[in-house]
Amino acid sequence: MRYRLVIFDWDGTLMDSVARIVDCMQAAARDAGWGHLAPAAVRDIIGLGLPEAIATLCPGIDPDRAELLRSRYAWHFVEGNDTPMRFFPEVEAGIAALRGQADQRLAVATGKSRRGLDRVFCESGSGRWFHASRTADETRSKPHPQMLEELLAELAVPVEEAVMVGDTAYDLEMARAIGMDRVAVTWGVHAPARLADSRPAFTAEAVPHLFDWLQGK
């Protein structure tokens, strides 16, 4: 066990949900009369809180239209879109292996809302895997490190015994801001070169490599 606390991002790191996020954000923008959002632009903001994502995607959007876009995104994601969302292959086995180690703590730090994370926890049965979690609507959005600071305090783990695992520069930069080690995964949304700028302790190119490294193999 390399770290007593492993904190995971969700979308693009543990769950293959990127296609659904992109489809729903594009549909919401059309519903709100904003027009077309390029898939690459939507992929780039995955990991931010929804208000921050909308502000980045739609510069100058007025508050009423931003709220309409937000509500339409929520509707599409929950009810209007059936694009499958599954854990990346071997994620569940990897989490189980970590949970089998004595004194190992696991947490989630995500740009999702609390309601959204709790929904996917319930639907996937994965809520029991984690000792704590933080979402963007109950603290500050990535890349601000507040959610990591709160997780460290809740679980009483010093920063040098924790690591952040994510697929975006937002994940890695929030960890870097407080001197926390970070691991980049390359199967998500940000390119390896961009992730490398955040100086990760390790870059995983496949799920088994990530969990082997976290276990000290």
Model confidence pLDDT, tens digit, residues 45-58: 999 999 999 999 99
Q: Is 103 a catalytic residue?
A: no
Distance CA 164, CA 169 (A): 11
Number of domains in the chain: 2
Shared-domain flag, residues 151 and 208: yes
Record the pTM.
Answer: 0.94
| Same domain flag for 72 and 90 | no
The catalytic residue among 9, 16, 167, 181 is 9
Together in a domain, 30 and 12? no
Is 11 tagged catalytic? yes
**What pLDDT, on a 0 to 100 scale, did the predictor assign at position 9?**
98
Residues 92 and 68 occupy one common structural domain: no
Mean of pLDDT over the chain: 95
What letter does residue 165 receive in the DSSP assignment? E
| pLDDT on residue 209 | 97
Which of these, 215, 217, 216, lies nearest to 106 by C-alpha position?
A: 215
Which ranges constitute the DSSP H helices of 132-206? 146-155, 169-176, 192-196
Residue 132, beta-bridge partner list: 107
Q: What is the pLDDT of residue 76?
A: 95
The answer to whether residues 171 and 102 belong to one domain is yes
Q: Would you say residue 82 has pLDDT above 90?
A: no
Which among 207, 216, 194 is positioned nearest to 8, based on CA atoms?
Answer: 207
Domain boundary at 31, 59, 80, which?
Answer: 80
What whole-number distance in Å separates Cα of residue 12 and Cα of residue 134?
Answer: 17
Single residue among 31, 51, 80 that ends a domain in this structure: 80
Q: Are residues 157 and 173 in the same domain?
A: yes
Q: What is the CATH number of the domain that holds 138?
A: 3.40.50.1000
> Both 90 and 188 in a single domain?
yes
Coil, strand or helix at 39: helix
Indicate whether 74 and 136 sit together in one domain. no
90/193 same-domain check: yes
Domain range spanning residue 50?
18-80
* E strand or H helix at 7: strand 5-8
Same domain flag for 180 and 131: yes
Residue 102 pLDDT grade (very low, low, confident, very high; cuts 50, 70, 90)? confident
**Using an 8 Å Cβ cutoff, are 72 and 32 in contact?**
yes
Q: Same domain, yes or no, for 126 and 96?
A: yes
Residue after which a domain boundary falls, among 34, 58, 80:
80
Task: Give the confidence band of 175 by pLDDT, cuts at 50, 70, 90.
Answer: very high
User: Tens digits of per-residue pLDDT, 85-98?
Assistant: 899 999 999 999 99
Given the structure tokens 């920063």, which residue do they identify? Answer: 159
Eight-class DSSP state of 160: G
Residue 84 has pLDDT above 90, yes or no: no
| Active-site residue (options: 11, 23, 167, 171) | 11
> Which residues have C-beta within 8 Å of that of residue 112, sequence separation ≥ 6?
10, 11, 120, 135, 136
